[in-house]
Structure 1
Amino acid sequence: MTQFLQVHLLTFFPPSNMNRDDTGRPKTAMVGGAMRLRLSSQALKRAWRTSTIFSEALKGYMGERTQRLGEEILKALRAEGVSEAQALAIARAVAGQFGKLNEDETPARIQQLAFISPDERKAAFDLARRYAAGEIPLPEKAKGKRGKANKVESEEEVEAPEILLLRESDTAADIALFGRMLADKPAFNREAAAQVAHAITTHRISVDDDYYTAVDDLKRPSEDAGAGFIGETGFGSGVFYTYMSINIDLLIRNLGGGDQARDLAATAIAALVEAAATTAPSGKQNSFAAHGRAGYILAERGKAQPRTLAGAFAKPVEGGDIMDASIGRLEEFREAIDKAYGPTADATKVMRVGGEGSLADIIVFAREGV
């Protein structure tokens, strides 16, 4: 049966605006009839994936999410003395494997963000250089017809070269964890091994407004006393419940299977857990420095169907010590739901700041399940 690792974190963040909505205010959610602050799963995953912890632990085993692979190839070919027309045709032929190409002033750029592994990137540059050297013929439709500013006037699509660049599995740990979708190449989509919930505060909140001014340093006393700039930004504070579930078997398969994949999976899980406990989204951090660390972590390992413990906070937590009350509510709910449905975990590990365990203990426990 499939082995799952589930991680539950409670983290206090001081006044901050780490994840904004379209109006610039902190994201929120109505839960149990009470307004809560929210950190989207996208913001959390982005912060963890780009953290120093994650990127250093997985150096050489991380993909790139970009539309600009073709432009990078175009730049490299120009530097190697390939003519502009040929370089652009080659860049389009290669980049077209990762998605539909633009037909405007950026003809080497694909229209969607594509998650590209290191293996695929290397294969793409190798293929481009083989085209440039004349080792293999360039597909005729890749050449296209161009007018001003290299705009593609032909409506013909770029044909895929015979040498396939895309991989069904590889050593890109972040793609293996978080998955990818290639709209034009669905056969090479990757199912995410890690599921991450939106984090919510365990208690009701209100979003406050910070009215601020900036003073012109060169303004003379004889001038008016007004500020050089006036602004307003929203902020909020609270204890956030964060939940993620990792399908360990799927992660290993996404990484190609075998002992090397298992070792890489263990490193990826350890880095993800550490990043989740210590890294916050980057929004407005220069203004608020809300670099919180988890005050409580519950890690569970087992073969039963994963389940969130967010239901512990359907009724907002109240009281003076919100962190302590949230921990108590989570543990009570976990005991109750396991009594009703049977235990989910075969093994658990807890870290509580000021109490039992450490982050190092949690990381060792997470690696042991791989």
Structure 2
Amino acid sequence: MSRFLQLHLLTFFPPANLNRDDTGRPKTAVVGGATRLRLSSQALKRAWRTSPIFEAALMGHMGSRTQRLGEVLRDHLRAGGMAEEAAVETARVIAGIFGKIKDAKDKDATRIEQLAFISPEERAAALALADRALAGEKVDEKAAKDASLLRTADTAADIALFGRMLAADPDYNREAACQVAHAITTHRVAVEDDYYTAVDDLKTSAEDAGAGFLGEAAFGSGVFYLYLCIDRALLSRNLGGDEDLVATALGALTEAAATVAPRGKQNSFAAHGRAGYVLAEKGDRQPRTLAGAFARPVSGTDLMADSIAALQRFRGAIDEAYGQAAEASVEMEVGASGRLADVIAFCRA
């Protein structure tokens, strides 16, 4: 079985602001001397792992990224009859295994300082330890550590794919099996501004003809190149060798990457794009991005077709110079050949 799975996608998005910077404008990057729109890998991964696709395919195999495990434990202990003060203290001790707990005087005294990625098995183990406390067992810091709440492998597919960092206990960090590049437009872009008004429905013409609110919203449009590289061997190790779950996770990831967009300003733009082109490759050789196809901005009247042609030319040139990178591959081009279902089946196998 090949170690690496690489995905290359070209997706057109109409005017949108899917991923904003600190000023509220679409994120950009200068590539090849030209400004491009950009979608951060963080925004993409968040959209995928919270999508209905992941929810349906990986139900029961998704972690929780949260500061609030201590609150879940506290409420569980209170519901079991433990007094408030004891419930808070016990919850702090158990949740402290997953990260530094806020000060006891803080109004959120059971919360972890940082976001912690917690698998279903780890959550269940934490609640089981809370049940031991309800049964009268003393649960202090030593007991919490001895309970082995943390895992180095489990069935949390999103943690296995995207990794986690536990500052409090680096031995239980999880290396991401999936690398996701920032998506960039294949061509030069100009971020535009929309000047808009909002009308007060109860305002009468006798007052004035002005709007109740004035504002500006930035947006941009283009064909984005997205690249993912998955280390299937590492994914399998992260999932404890469960190959059926590996296949399910890869299928869900492939479908989400082709069909799910970040949610920024979607109510204003409804930019629900679908990949116009997908190339999936398998092999054991060192992976390589094909972003170099777009170091020189694509131009022309058919940006999707020209982008596909540029990617295929660059892929051929790279393979000619370095040798064929992939042992097997499959392509889908909307309006030409292939189906997403075939790409998903290829990625799962």
With the shorter chain as reference, the TM-score category is: over 0.9
TM-score (norm 2): 0.98
Report the Cα distance in structure 2 between the residues aligned to 1:12 and 1:333, rounded to whole angstroms: 20
TM-score (norm 1): 0.92
Superposed displacement of residue 221, structure 1: 1.8
Alignment match of 2:306 (pick from 309, 317, 325): 325
Judge conservation of contact 1:93–1:159 (CA < 8 Å) in 2.
no
Alignment match of 1:243 (pick from 227, 231, 238): 227
Partner of 1:89: 89
Superposed displacement of residue 54, structure 1: 1.1
Partner of 2:271: 290
* Code of the aligned partner of 1:121: R
Report the Cα distance in structure 1 between the residues aligned to 2:12 and 2:2, rounded to whole angstroms: 33
Q: Please list the CA deviations of residues 54-94 of structure 1 after superposition, one character each: whole Å capped at 9, or x if unmatched.
A: 11100000000000000111112222221011101110111
Report the Cα distance in structure 1 between the residues aligned to 2:18 and 2:187, rounded to whole angstroms: 18
Partner of 1:313: 294
Report the Cα distance in structure 2 between the residues aligned to 1:162 and 1:131, rounded to whole angstroms: 14
Report the Cα distance in structure 2 between the residues aligned to 1:235 and 1:21, rounded to whole angstroms: 12
Q: How many percent identity over aligned positions?
A: 67
Partner of 1:75: 75
Alignment match of 1:359 (pick from 337, 340, 345): 340
Report the Cα distance in structure 1 between the residues aligned to 2:302 and 2:320, rounded to whole angstroms: 27
Partner of 2:5: 5
Partner of 2:283: 302
For residue 65 of structure 2, give the secondary structure of its aligned residue in structure 1.
strand
Report the Cα distance in structure 2 between the residues aligned to 1:270 and 1:8, rounded to whole angstroms: 15
Task: Say whether residues 1:137 and 2:138 are aligned partners.
Answer: yes
Superposed displacement of residue 160, structure 1: 4.1
Judge conservation of contact 1:67–1:109 (CA < 8 Å) in 2.
yes
Structure 1 unaligned blocks of 5 or more: 143-157
* Code of the aligned partner of 2:123: R
Superposed displacement of residue 321, structure 1: 0.2
Report the Cα distance in structure 2 between the residues aligned to 1:299 and 1:235, rounded to whole angstroms: 30
Report the Cα distance in structure 2 between the residues aligned to 1:138 and 1:17, rounded to whole angstroms: 49
Superposed displacement of residue 129, structure 1: 1.4
Alignment match of 1:267 (pick from 240, 244, 248): 248
Moved over 4 A (4+): none
Judge conservation of contact 1:93–1:161 (CA < 8 Å) in 2.
no
For the aligned residue pairs, the C-alpha RMSD in angstroms reads 1.1
Report the Cα distance in structure 2 between the residues aligned to 1:206 and 1:174, rounded to whole angstroms: 35
Partner of 2:120: 118
Partner of 1:153: none
* Code of the aligned partner of 1:226: G
Report the Cα distance in structure 1 between the residues aligned to 2:336 and 2:328, rounded to whole angstroms: 19
Report the Cα distance in structure 2 between the residues aligned to 1:25 and 1:58, rounded to whole angstroms: 34
